[in-house]
């Protein structure tokens, strides 16, 4: 059974005769009659009954008409969507991030994007935040905002922006007056992180691992507010992006300190599947993200 058979059933059911259907499909009547015989022989049942010089659907024919209409409609919808995507007019982006702190700034950025790009539908899927890359590889996500570049050759990256990582301590912490924090300083501290493993963090990969140093304790805590209360009480320290801690500095007795004399920076990327390719409307979203974060204290 082929698409031409489905189109034939739809056309004959609509006009009631092979002669009229053949004109509609730009085929000869004999060619259309041959198609009808082919599919009836394949299904081993008639699809039409002749009544008063008209072809009327049999029960099997009615089932096939419903199927033909559904399949042909879905194919047309797919053609239209693909055509629009290729023209850069419309698309859907399923998006997640690799870090919960991104949700401090991401919603406002996406809100302005939606106002100016109504034809591109954005779906934020925070449930994949802890493990976005497997979801990307499985096709559940189209793009991931991440500061980690994995080793998989199935994933490609587009650079977005960079940010600085700072140590957050209480105002009365012994480090409060230090001009910067060295790798060795972390060895005697309780380090608060959002979630593990710490080995995936920029702090560990760029600062601690090269010196073979680990913090005294690592405490997982996903709520920033709770972590700040711990810091104020002298129960731990935390490493955060400058833009993430900025809103809390005014109302809390805490202080930020650079990490190492040369400071610690991260680069953020949009990750996507190489096989799926970089679509035209991804460019629109990428450009909006870069422009939105440009000039911000990130």
Rounded distance, CA 266 to CA 123, Å? 25
Q: Which CATH number is associated with domain 91-160+270-293?
A: 3.40.190.10
Quickly tell me which residue has 């409307």 as its tokens.
281
Distance from C-alpha of 252 to C-alpha of 244, rounded to nearest angstrom: 14
Digit-coded pLDDT (tens) for 211-248? 999 999 999 988 889 999 999 999 999 999 998 898 89
pLDDT of residue 270: 93
pLDDT on residue 297 = 42
Of the two residues 139 and 77, the one the predictor is more confident about is: 139
Q: How many residues does the chain have?
A: 298
- Domain 91-160+270-293 and domain 161-265, same fold? Reply is yes
User: Considering the domain 3-86, what is its CATH architecture?
Assistant: Orthogonal Bundle (1.10)
Confidence category of residue 107, pLDDT binned at 50, 70, 90? confident
Domain boundaries, the chain: 3-86, 91-160+270-293, 161-265
Mean pLDDT for 293-297 is 56
pLDDT higher than 50, residue 298: no
pLDDT, tens digit (0-9, with 9 covering 90-100), for 152-205 = 889 999 998 888 999 999 999 999 999 999 999 999 999 999 887 888 888 999
Measure the CA angle with vertex 114, ends 113 and 119; round to 5°. Answer: 115
Task: Tell me what percent of the residues of the chain surpass a pLDDT of 90.
Answer: 44
Q: Which H/E stretch holds residue 288?
A: helix 280-293
pTM, whole model, 2 decimals?
0.62
pLDDT for 120 beyond 90 = no
pLDDT above 80 for 91? no
Asked if residues 173 and 234 have their Cβ atoms less than 8 Å apart, the reply is yes
Q: What is the pLDDT of residue 86?
A: 62
Quickly name the fold that domain 161-265 has.
D-Maltodextrin-Binding Protein; domain 2 (3.40.190)
């Amino acid at each position: 059974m082929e698409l031409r058979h489905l189109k034939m059933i739809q056309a004959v059911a609509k006009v009631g005769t092979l002669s009229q259907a053949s004109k509609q499909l730009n085929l000869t009547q004999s060619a259309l009659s041959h198609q009808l015989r082919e599919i009836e022989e394949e299904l081993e049942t008639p699809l039409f009954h002749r009544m008063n010089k008209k072809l009327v659907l049999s029960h099997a024919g009615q089932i096939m008409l419903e199927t033909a209409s559904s399949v042909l409609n879905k194919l047309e919808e797919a053609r239209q969507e693909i055509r629009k995507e290729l023209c850069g007019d419309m698309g859907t982006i399923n998006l997640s991030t690799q870090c919960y702190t991104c949700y401090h700034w991401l919603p406002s950025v996406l809100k302005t994007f939606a106002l100016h790009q109504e034809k591109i539908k954005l779906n934020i899927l925070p449930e994949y935040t802890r493990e976005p890359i497997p979801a990307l590889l499985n096709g559940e996500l189209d793009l991931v905002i991440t500061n980690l570049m994995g080793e998989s050759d199935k994933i490609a990256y587009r650079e977005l922006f960079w940010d600085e990582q700072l140590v957050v301590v209480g105002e009365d912490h012994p480090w409060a007056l230090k001009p910067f924090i060295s790798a060795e300083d972390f060895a005697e501290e309780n380090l608060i992180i959002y979630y593990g493993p710490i080995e995936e963090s920029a702090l560990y990969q760029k600062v601690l691992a090269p010196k073979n140093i680990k913090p005294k304790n690592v405490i997982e805590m996903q709520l920033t507010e709770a972590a700040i209360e711990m810091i104020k009480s002298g129960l731990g320290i935390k490493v955060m992006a400058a833009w993430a801690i900025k809103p809390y500095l005014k109302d809390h007795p805490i202080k930020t300190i650079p990490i190492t004399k040369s400071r610690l920076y991260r680069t953020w990327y949009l990750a996507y599947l190489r096989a799926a390719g970089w679509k035209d409307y991804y460019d629109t979203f990428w450009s909006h993200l870069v422009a939105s974060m440009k000039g911000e204290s990130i």
